[in-house]
Structure 1
């Protein structure tokens, strides 16, 4: 067994029954999508160690290295997501530990094009050759070697602040820089028109051999993240295979009924409720209706007077 292959006790005629960690497709429904523009003080924190000399001045123990620091701009997209499948965190000794149907935090950043895809540019079709009826030992480095994106388990995000959040899945992903900049600019320009966002990801996950053999694409699946004995870090390499963002025009607002405060001289609340329209187009429409009703009433009065005079 390695980090990508588990041999189980039961065996088949020619090989052991196994689980393999290979590229799997996970469709995400994105929520709370935001484009973030941030500036950070990017100092070199690990160059030299400051100390005080005999004259009381601060000096570095690495005089040849000059500390550099300046504000740096960072642009990224954040979201959270739900999905129809299940991801189970498990260990060999204890079995299932945690199960998730959502990702609490997603961060998408720009990367140079040659980084995304890693060494092998592996796809889910490559994974089919190492899972299900075709299961065989996955190489020690896995199929998605060098892929920069990561899905990981966060168990205690801020222990130094005394905050102990529930365990959650978090996802760091990357887009080629030109495509990222286009998406970022579009989100900023149309944030009020965002209607739906989905993302197609490929993630190295374990899958039961039987499920991998029999599941159809439209069926839900249960995937696994292995927690190795003695290790707290649980992760899997990940990549965006596609992202879709839909926009639409803002819908007209419905009329708002304003609550009226009645005075003591009107105990029966006989005064009418005031209705105001918060959308300009609806307000114009109501004015037009009132104007037409006024003409209709006037014509009815004229007709009634005419009938009375001829009677």
Structure 2
């Protein structure tokens, strides 16, 4: 028996926008607590919200605050999550009920953000990169819960592809098996987070936000469950050298194995290690691709609301 009123809090601005049929864009909070150092994490989160507003949509940064599933947290709550950093629980689907019951704070991953957005009625979500099938998953079974959520939660996800630390080929195979359409925005090739190229093809190329919105509208009207994954290449001027970044990723993965790091700690560790090795260049690329995705997601949300 559902009792969303007990746990779900939708910010007044977000609620008003949804009731009026105005465009709303969901934003995740793991990137704040686990994706970047303070204060860069807070500055980035606030700038993303500003970009969404400038593009004509309402931002809804999502997190669990004091056990409440909060869709549209305040700037003060963003700062709180940023300062608390890794001490905030990283929340995926399995963690939601426990964090709620304990009345704790939680930073939502792609999967958890999709769930909370769907509960509130927000249909478009902008993030950096999705999780996927980790390298060596054929023996470790390390596969992100993001992929399962994409299979059955009806929220469009706009990203810069799957994180480059993953096995991109197997990630695409998994999405195909689950029936998740992978759209390339103005590209036929899957972007690889830090770079525009991966060597793998997407399912469909679409060249305008209106075209993407119409496809998602058709999906909803047909009653087909699950997400539509829109992959948006990092802007050319911020794209990193393909060979150089993959050499760094290999170094970081080898170090993680030596230290015995696995499970949900893997991605935050690798992103931090890559940032250190690249002297901060990967962090700047990460920030720029998030901004880029926020702009595209907002444009799609505006078209969808017409």
- TM-score for both structures, normalised by structure 2: 0.20
- TM-score for both structures, normalised by structure 1: 0.20
Rg comparison, structure with higher value: 1
